[in-house]
Structure 1
Amino acid sequence: MIGYTEAQEAIRRTVREFATKEVKPGAAERDETGTFDYGLYRRLCDLGLAGMPFREEFGGADADSLTFCLAIEEVSRVDMSLGLTLWVGIQGAVSMTHGSDEQISAWRERYIAGTIAGDVVSAGAITEPDAGSDTAAIKTRATQDGDEWVVNGSKIFISNAGLENCGFAMVLCRTEEGFGIVIVPTGTPGFTMGPALRKMGLRSSDTRELSFDDCRVPTLNMLGGASLGRQAIVGGGFHITRLYLASQAVGVAAECLDQSLAHAKSRVAFKRPIARFQYVQGMLVDMALEIEAARLLRDKACALHEARLPFAKEAAMAKLFCTEMGKRAADHAVQIFGGMGYMDETPVSRYYRDIRAATIAEGTSEVQKHIIARELGCFS
């Protein structure tokens, strides 16, 4: 694949223009105060971003995975927190569209249509205090009691749950048959959450600990059966969300390059712009080269996904390379800006803090290497 289609380029331009005019101006203040702008998120959804992955029958755009990744990339260039809230916030409703006819009928208007409109976001509750990358070690349990599921346990580092428009959490639970995904609406008795966690970065993205104490929901709220919930996430869901996170990293890296290059051309030291010094040039060239390579990895994984071909290895490769690359790019950007790069009024300081989570979320870099080794046949 060389280049993008006219439609994809048009979407990139539209989202970049919106991000530049609407998202960028308040990004630093949202980071400083740790606040989420609901009006901004609604305007982002009015642009059509939340509905992109949904099929047309649900009111979505039925966009391919690469096109949505390009949109995420552009938003994340200026605000990684908002990009994260977006793709995490739609995952629950996207999963609901694969439910039974009865489930879709029950959730279509309230959750699916609400998500596309920007009125609702969801939270994906997988990680626990003693079970991060090792999802098989989760202890939260769902027990069937008549026509209800009773959920008990706790989750940590969960995005979006504390937002005012969070409609429900998708909770990965241990069951008698294996693992299941239980839809727990916000406000359900027994479902409580702690205060917003203080974080190094991504400060305007809500992150909390959740608790479930004899939390009862209808049996209808078990999505995809009570045995294969973990497999649906580990063997499928994580693959695509890793591409979303990889795209965020590409966006951050691209913005770091643009700002670093502009600064290097204008910053004068020793009677010349620092862009003329080879060590600075080396950092800029490394950034440019790795961004191009990262996009190729991400784009190939998206192409395999759209072709309905296996892409676990390629998704892991993209996630590993893009996020580690993004971290290096932010580090180079801070170095090129020098002392100002360490100051919060310079955006690269925020990018440096925000990107650090990318090599941990959706499976650490070490887990991605394990997946790649497995797919190469190292364990057979």
Structure 2
Amino acid sequence: MIRDSDVLSTLTATVRRFVRERLLPAEARVEDDNAIPAELVAEMRALGLFGMSIPEAYGGLGLTMEEEVMVAFELGYASPAFRSVIGTNNGIGSQGIIVDGTEAQKQYWLPLMASGAVIGSFALTEPDVGSDAGSVRTAAVRDGDHYVLNGTKRYITNAPVADVFTVMARTGGPGPGGISAFVVPRDSIGLSLGPVDKKMGQRGTRTCDVIFDNCRVPAVAVIGGVEGKGFKTAMKVLNRGRLHIAAVCTGAAERLCDESVSFARTRVQFGKPIGEHQLIQAMLADSATEAFAGRAMVVETARRFDAGERIVQHAASAKLFCSEMVGRVADRAVQIHGGAGYMQAYPVEHFYRDVRLFRLYEGTSQIQQIIIARELLNG
């Protein structure tokens, strides 16, 4: 649902210009420094990018899902690290509060997240808990008007720079029904961070362990004020997040297509540009077709989401296809570039590493397949 096409066109044009004029020239610097320049983060705040999905009533842009994916296509054109800086505030860092939080929780945290004054993070994964999210072991024990949290979360995106965490912890018995969601500020006593992870790709995106050692949080920190609803909250959040990631994958695929076409036009072998060789043309055609298919899937699913339809299967399908698709497009891009594609002087090298993560987080490809099959069989 696009509410005002002119306003959306202006927004996407502004983001497109920002991506090309400010973010693309900074990609090599981010690779070298493993950090997003502070001035670019400030510009993202000024553009309102930290609050794209946060309702206008709480200071955000309040974009519909279709509007959000249109912006995500543009952001995905640059290194994924840039999108990740704002990604948790728009997705898993804020959406739990938006969908299930109390009004007091919304009034306090959402304006701060929308402005970028605080960065939110989502702490679900644990050393022994990944795809099996219902087996969370981090414990939250009631102690008067507080809860005491103990446990470790792993690979938490933006944890090193986060100001607040949405934490999934077990307050009851085994299984998903015993999990509750908490809003835990970074400065809570008993909360500490592990060393920053050294990753294969997505340099500039910081992740690390989040450790709770008798961390006391007030009872009002339970999202929605009710125990046992944390797993359901997480699942609600992941549906929208998966569609957003699918859009980012599509934007990255389109960037890789453009890089491949540009190289194919100028690289000469056997007396002519390699783009005139049919086997190169075949790879270009396959990549462009798959990127187009990804865009169509994402837009269609976003429209269904805005219409209030159940999109569990469609979101999983979009995430599965687009994350796998961008990996194939990246592989072809390196192949088209030949030896140059293996060199850090060309952006396809780091994109090849960066996009691999999309098949793992927000639900692995195998988890998406299980979800799709379950929806088909139970439909």
Partner of 1:337: 337
The aligned runs of 1:50-69 (5 Å cut-off) are 50-69=50-69
Gaps of 5+ in 1: none
Decide which moves more: 4-13 or 86-95. 4-13
The answer to whether the Cα contact below 8 Å between 2:58 and 2:106 also exists between their aligned partners in 1 is: no
The aligned runs of 1:201-240 (5 Å cut-off) are 201-224=201-224, 225-234=226-235, 236-240=236-240
1:6 CA displacement: 4.1
Decide which moves more: 111-120 or 270-279. 111-120
Using the size of structure 1 for normalisation, the TM-score is 0.94
Using the size of structure 2 for normalisation, the TM-score is 0.94
The aligned runs of 1:55-94 (5 Å cut-off) are 55-91=55-91, 92-94=93-95
1:95 CA displacement: 3.1
Q: Deviations over 1:109-128 (max 9, x none)?
A: xx322222222111100101
SS of aligned partner of 1:376: helix
Decide which of 151, 173, 194 is 1:153's aligned counterpart: 151
In 2, Cα distance between equivalents of 1:295 and 1:117: 29
In 1, Cα distance between equivalents of 2:307 and 2:266: 46
Gaps of 5+ in 2: none
Q: Deviations over 1:128-163 (max 9, x none)?
A: 111101101110011111100111100101011101
**Paired residues, what number?**
371
The answer to whether the Cα contact below 8 Å between 1:275 and 1:281 also exists between their aligned partners in 2 is: yes
In 2, Cα distance between equivalents of 1:365 and 1:97: 27
Decide which moves more: 142-151 or 174-183. 174-183
1:56 CA displacement: 1.8
Partner of 2:166: 170
Q: Deviations over 1:263-315 (max 9, x none)?
A: 10111100011111111011100111011110111111111111111000000
Partner of 1:279: 279
Q: Deviations over 1:35-77 (max 9, x none)?
A: 1323211211211222221222112222111211222221221
In 1, Cα distance between equivalents of 2:78 and 2:327: 15
In 2, Cα distance between equivalents of 1:251 and 1:327: 13
SS of aligned partner of 1:198: coil
Decide which of 89, 114, 117 is 2:115's aligned counterpart: 117
In 2, Cα distance between equivalents of 1:332 and 1:79: 18
The aligned runs of 1:264-303 (5 Å cut-off) are 264-303=264-303
1:82 CA displacement: 1.2
SS of aligned partner of 1:261: helix
Specify the code of the residue in structure 1 equivalent to 2:103: D
Structure 1 residues 227, 86: closer, same or farther in 2, change over 3 A? same
Decide which moves more: 46-55 or 285-294. 46-55
Partner of 1:367: 367
The aligned runs of 1:179-198 (5 Å cut-off) are 179-198=179-198
- How much identity, in percent, do the aligned residues show? 34
